Chain A
């Protein structure tokens, strides 16, 4: 009973220390710089090197639970794409992705207010069935999205005049926090159709998706977690929300390492006591 109580107290102390450790750098920022990794650079290069006026597709495959990690990526990548004069089609394989897309566009459009709906960007909304929907887009975009969210017919949207299937988009950028997401876009768009796919994901999902960034170019780079989002912001010279949060992230990582060390010292001594 007493051991149980001790464990509970220990746990609460850990929670409290973590809370304070994350809050302090948010209140008193340190301003540590972030180094850019090759995976982020690769994704940036794909957007950077795609010609002007190309039609590109952004898929919002996440929900508010991962907004802290993915929303900064979405905003930075949308801004980058707008800066290259690319025309953006937004879709969502998660229903909540629709609202996430709206929020990301609101931020990006503040910097590029001249961009016109229907001409420079369009939001086609959510579609159910994940990989099947992507397969269907590979055959006919219009069949899957007969109209945009406001009810305008697909054929009446100026920037979609030449986009019949996914083959007609220059690249696909999936911002995903699970299934359906990047993996499904690689499977149903990159591999059968050859359309380049890049994207951003949560740090949890990143290790499992990295094998797709390979010599076959199944995935052109990958943004994994808040650190990658801040790297992307660095690449487009933006001090965005990810960069600001990186100090807190760094301190929290250090704290977790301290927890691991203390835990091991404690385990070492209890083993020693047990042996005696």
Chain B
């Protein structure tokens, strides 16, 4: 029976793979069916892992094993239940409390973390001595790094009209951004092709046994 189920599983995988690929010809019922099944399975997967990995160890187990010691956990439980009230129009306003707590906390965390990592961290990383290296290429690279960062930030500074001499750094900034977008395109091609290789390998190896 287990052997049959393995073969059935393989054919199921093949069916779903080919159904999705069929979209390349045109939209069709097989693709639509696979798409909806994917959404359903994905949602259920999240829910099952949420239950086992978060709700059970971080809430239910704590409450069931030491209720008195974990009484405080009733507050987030109540807030969580209030969140679910968003589904009932009359009681919808109650969901604002947990949402406000989540948004407020996220805002605080984002403010501190982005200030440290993306603002101060990146500025510090740009404050380098470009001539510290013996390698000419690295020196040129470091100069490009400093100039590119400053011009790029300047380009995003919209508060003043950029005309005449003021437009020069902005123009340079655009050039750096274009180079970066070109590099990103190259990398995106790489990523997408890799995913296709993975699926073709499955079809050629596991299903058709053409490759070992």
Contacts and interface: CB of A to CB of B under 8 A. Distances in A.
A126 B125 contact: no
A245 interface: yes
Contact of A128 (B50, B190, B194): B50
B105 A132 contact: yes
A6 B114 CA distance: 49
Nearest to B112: A192
B50 A95 contact: yes
A226 B57 contact: no
Which of B58, B187, B189, B197 is packed against the most chain A CB atoms within 10 Å? B197
B7 interface: no
B109 A225 contact: no
A131 B210 contact: no
A19 B200 contact: yes
B109 to A, nearest CB: 6
Contacts of A237: none
Contact of B180 (A26, A126, A207): A207
B188 A26 contact: no
B49 A68 contact: no
Given A146-B58, A211-B122, A211-B125, A187 B193 contact: no
B81 interface: no
Contact of A204 (B52, B62, B117, B191): B191
A225 B198 contact: no
B111 to A, nearest CB: 12
Contact of A98 (B49, B58, B125): B49
Contacts of A226: 190, 194, 197
Contact of A188 (B113, B188, B204): B113
Interface string B108-138: 0100011011100110110010000000000
Nearest to B124: A216
Nearest to B125: A214
A248 B203 CA distance: 15
A128 B50 CA distance: 7
B24 A204 contact: no
Nearest to B194: A226
A255 to B, nearest CB: 9
Contacts of A15: 24
B25 A27 contact: no
B191 A202 contact: yes
B180 to A, nearest CB: 7
Interface string A212-244: 101110100000111100000000000000000
Contacts of A67: 198
A68 B195 contact: yes
A216 B196 contact: no
A187 B113 contact: yes
B211 A249 contact: no
Interface string A1-39: 000000000001001001100110011000000000000
B156 interface: no
Contacts of B53: 95, 98, 125-128, 149
A27 B205 CA distance: 9
The 9 A-B pairs of least Cβ separation, nearest first, read A68-B198, A214-B125, A203-B191, A95-B49, A126-B53, A203-B190, A226-B194, A187-B113, A203-B187
Interface of A: 12, 15, 18-19, 22-23, 26-27, 65-69, 95-96, 98, 125-128, 131-132, 135, 144-147, 149, 186-188, 191-192, 202-204, 206-208, 211-212, 214-216, 218, 224-227, 245, 248-249, 252-253, 256
11 contacts: A15-B24, A22-B197, A27-B210, A69-B191, A95-B46, A95-B49, A191-B121, A202-B191, A208-B184, A212-B121, A245-B201
